[in-house]
A and B are shown apart, each in its own frame.
Chain A
Amino acid sequence: MHNFSYARAADIDGALRLVAQPGAQFIAGGTNLLDLMKGGIAIPERLVDITQIAGLAQIHQLPAGAIRIGALASNSDTAKHSLIRERHPLLAQAIESGASAQLRNMATVGGNILQRTRCGYFYDTAFDECNKRNPGSGCAAIRGYNRNHAVLGASESCIATHPSDMCVALVALDAVVQLRTARGARAVPLADFQRLPGDAPQTDSLLAPGEIITAVDLPSDRWLKHSAYLKVRDRASYAFALVSVAAAIDIQDEVMQDARVVLGGVAHKPWQVPEAASLLRGRRADTNAFREVAEAAFQGAAPRKHNAFKIELGKRAVIRGLSLAASAGANLT
């Protein structure tokens, strides 16, 4: 690890001032950034610790009914918060399926959104090729070991996946990211905030230089009753998703009115299946309907040498995830 200086911000304005200096970067839980620094992948000259900023860890209801999760709320506090468990059980499920209890205690909601891929070639600087780490150097994973890489939305520059479970649920719940710079505030839907690799995989999100995530808003609890997060992985705990599915259905009088299906583990960001709503609307919940969504989800999927199984696995996971969502209620724990 390289030497760096350390400063602690007292408030958001102070944090934005400190991070404006060259080579400065925010640190909150540090569960990903410290790993990156130890590996020589991130080499910040200055860390701006934002964990002491008051009020940023709150979870509360806004006047219009939306729920606001402060950027510094820990993953575990979020998952166990009564507003989240009662109104957005999908999010609680997704968070608790991720990482380990120790990591969830440290990791923040804002940091989770900004975490970087777990691609082995990205994480080891001994590999010369990685466009995400060193733009223009190539992608070692495309012709290397790519069992856990993307089958959707990848490019010839990068086939990495986003490792978060939480974000998959957030996108399904239409979450909106609240951002601040010294010049003002803006709000961006999470689905748009995170990007596909294209020819600039070094840029994971629309976060501008000097910008900070202050909160994530969940606008509506219309997915409360029928939702499920299904994570398929190589071991029962502490493993990234091979494929995950956040499924939510609005069912009125046994007829599906609307649906959200978002996939994790298959793309550079949570992968939306927008066809889900139109394919399911007006129908009763059954496996045949869900199978059509599954097929639509993987239209255009591009397998690599080791990850072709994700396409079939992903389809089956979509069907299972929607079935679980339709029969949910049991998920209201």
Chain B
Amino acid sequence: MSVVGQPIDRVDGARKLTGTALYTHDVNIANQAHGVLVLSTVPNGRIISIDSGAAEHSPGVLLVLTFLNAPRLPQGGRAGVNPPAGRVLSVLQDNEVHYNREPVAVVVAETWEQASTAAGLVEVRYQELPAQLDFAQTAAHSPGKVNGEDADSSRGSIGGDSMNTQVIETYETPTEHHNPLEPHATLAHWVGDHVTLYDSTQYISGTQETLAKVLGVPKDHVRVICPFVGGGFGCKGSMWSHVALTAMAARHLGRPVKLALQRPQMFGPVGCRPRTLQKLKITARENGEFLAIQHDVISHTSVIEDFTEAAALQTRIMYSCPNLKTTHRLVPLNVGTPTFQRAPGHATGTFAFESAIDELAYALRMDPIQLRLHNEPEVDPENELPWSSRSLRQCYESGAAAFGWSRRSAEPNGMHDGHIAVGWGVASATYPANRSAAKARARMAPDGRITVQCGTQDLGTGTYTVMTQVAADALGCPPERVVFELGDSGFPAAPVSGGSQSVASVAPAVRAAALALRDKLIGLGVADESSPVHGASPADVVIENGFIGARSSSRREPLSSLIARAGGGDIVAEGSAQPGPEKKRYSMHSFGAVFVEVNVDRDLGQIRVPRVVARYGIGRLLNAKTGRSQLIGGIVWGIGMALMEESVLDERTGRIVNANFADYHVPTNADIGEIDVGVVAEDDPHINPLGARGIGEIGITGVAAALANAVYHATGVRVRELPITLDKLIL
């Protein structure tokens, strides 16, 4: 039986448990100094003066880097701008301030405590300018493109059709900050004109390239190392200002500099999920057939860069509908630039769209699952391509059975237990099946040990584990014989660990490298007169558990013997894999169905979520255990998104008021009940030879809508603005 798909334990689990997995901030280099960022306290303006005297004279301080003394960078610091990896940075090239908590200085000292104390002594005076902070009152513009697609789309015609049933509603989602447990951290170490950068990042090769451009050094002078990431969720997919600033400070000082963001510093300079306002209009016949859908999205961006929350892309492909119109617009505000956050666009878009469909189901007096399945498309309704796989119907059937959906009361407010109102809600989940090019290298040492290297990342999701399984499978050995290494830009390049594409991109490359190594070993054996497979047909040769032999004979020998005769050096092979024309032939998306039960205290409005059932069609899972964890993690975040998460902007200062973990709420263990996730069997032969996809994003999608729908079912109160806090059920 293949090891691929087996629920093996994380291969890096013991290292994490024992604290020997070194995260960026755990790395220490002799003579290192410590940096602390100083962030702006106004939303818009110019720095009139910076008094760094007290800081510079504070004990242990080595450097206070400001726009006055920072080295000038190529193109004013804009040379690396190439979104999404290369963002518009704040790298102390001028005195302009565009948002609150924008970097305005770096203080470097012998110890972190000294740097932190001195950072509080830097006196920055500003000439404040009027700031755009009012989302509702600021003019919107079109971004032109969204994730490579047109920002606006139209098929058929949206007519004034008032004879049929319509839902016209507006939904809102707030700004949310990623807040992985491991904040951003960087350690820059220059030797001559080469820099080694330890950085907590989802994209080592992107950071390598962007940093090289920003600093104006050759790319091969930058090496980026990141063996472990303590959560990324999108905010570590781009290189932000602090990375360049740390490298600048280290070069300026001639010493290694380590810098980590403090928790409140996570609320500004490193991205967020933007606020959205989404208008939905759905027209349907009495039998539930969708006639027309319009989805207009407004989201905020910063005044320095456009980032678009692609909330209506999922609406384009989700259901059959002859007439459909979608738009995306941006409102630029004096705040930090938003970025990708777990299921960017799809998490927010499914909240609005799947809530509106629920509202339509009540208006039609139809079961919300039946309504969706009535509009199940045979092909992608936007481009009419066949699906590479689509198992939404199976997800609903399997999920409904597990959840007990048939026992649901059709009317809201129909299920009570004392002062607790019980509600059941459902929604669809979806995320595109993405893939990029990747390379990998496989090596067998003379003792038969196998090492596979790829410049990918493990965000805690299980990349180490599943790639070990893929390599072991290709080389016919147990996973214990394979060491998979990642997180070094010196390894063959892989794409960003974002957009749910690592598995789909990296696994085929790892497999190709492993198979190339296998072929190389077979070639050695066939050519070697002393080998038991000498002269055999390569197709007849079997490599298994460290031995090489021929199918047609019982003779075999350890690979280490073969390698010793071949000269005793490592046998190395490289492999690569890239998407072909399949995306032009097939529409590739993952789908799922999420069922949520809520208990709402009818007097006090408190919402608890005793259980969630979700079923997904996501191709082939490479590891049932890590895969389940990732889906559960997405659902937990979905519950937080639905009920808790909100970065509150003070509209006078542009500063987030609740920038700490006491006030920025994410779910605690006590908030999470039973979560039952399952995967329906699905064979996608088109996405890659393994039929495997990334699943990082889909788990969060649909959850907020299913939960809002359950709250409506429990109470008869429709909440269209996240988060659904209890005050929205009280008044």
Residues in A lying within 8 Å of B, measured CB to CB: 1-3, 40, 118, 120-121, 123-124, 126-127, 140, 143-145, 147, 232-240, 242, 308-309, 312-313, 316-317, 319-320
Contact = CB atoms under 8 A, between A and B. Distances in A.
B657 A144 contact: yes
A313 B605 CA distance: 8
A236 B113 contact: no
Given A236-B671, A320-B604, A242 B650 contact: no
20 contacts: A2-B117, A118-B663, A120-B657, A120-B663, A124-B659, A126-B100, A144-B652, A232-B726, A233-B606, A235-B670, A236-B608, A236-B668, A238-B662, A238-B668, A308-B731, A309-B726, A313-B605, A313-B726, A316-B730, A320-B419
B671 A145 contact: no
Given A40-B120, A118-B663, A309-B727, A126 B655 contact: yes
A237 B113 contact: no
B492 to A, nearest CB: 43
Interface in B630-678: 643-644, 648, 650, 652-653, 655, 657-660, 662-663, 665, 667-671
Contacts of B726: 232, 234, 242, 309, 313
A140 B657 CA distance: 11
Contact of B117 (A3, A232, A235, A309): A3
Contacts of A240: 662
Sorted nearest first, the 3 A-B pairs with minimum C-beta distance are: A309-B727, A236-B670, A237-B670
A95 B567 CA distance: 71
B725 A234 contact: yes
Interface string B601-614: 00111101000000
Contacts of A143: 652
Contact of B653 (A127, A238, A317): A127
B647 to A, nearest CB: 11
Nearest to B653: A127
Interface in B84-102: 100
B685 interface: no
A121 B117 contact: no
Interface string B355-393: 000000000000000000000000000000000000000
B501 interface: no
Nearest to A3: B117
A276 to B, nearest CB: 19
Nearest to A121: B657
B241 interface: no
A235 B100 CA distance: 29
Contacts, number: 88
Contact of A235 (B419, B644, B653): B644
A309 B665 CA distance: 19
A307 to B, nearest CB: 9
Contact of A145 (B608, B648, B727): B648
A233 B116 CA distance: 34
B727 A313 contact: yes
Contact of A239 (B605, B660, B665): B665
Nearest to A239: B665
Contacts of A234: 643-644, 665, 725-726
Interface string B65-93: 00000000000000000000000000000
Contacts of A312: 730-731
Nearest to B116: A1
Interface in B676-731: 725-727, 730-731
Contacts of A232: 604, 606, 726
Given A127-B653, A236-B608, A313-B727, A120 B658 contact: yes
A121 B648 CA distance: 12
A121 B650 CA distance: 10
Contacts of B100: 126
Given A127-B653, A313-B604, A316-B603, A1 B117 contact: yes
A313 B729 CA distance: 10
Contacts of B662: 118, 238, 240
B436 interface: no
A204 to B, nearest CB: 18
B41 interface: yes
A117 to B, nearest CB: 12
A237 B668 contact: yes
B264 interface: yes
Given A235-B667, A320-B603, A320-B604, A309 B653 contact: no
A124 B120 contact: no
Contact of A1 (B113, B605, B644, B727): B113
A260 to B, nearest CB: 21
A254 B403 CA distance: 45
Given A124-B655, A234-B726, A236-B608, 4 more contacts: A145-B648, A145-B657, A232-B726, A234-B665
Contacts of B113: 1
A240 B665 CA distance: 11
A120 B652 CA distance: 14
B41 A126 contact: yes
Contacts of B120: 2, 40
B655 A127 contact: yes
Contacts of A121: 657
A90 to B, nearest CB: 19
Contacts of B671: 235-237
Contact of A317 (B116, B604, B655): B604
Nearest to B262: A38
A313 B731 CA distance: 9
A313 B655 contact: no
A250 to B, nearest CB: 25
B352 to A, nearest CB: 23
Contacts of A319: 603
A239 B658 CA distance: 13
Contacts of A147: 727
A147 B731 CA distance: 14
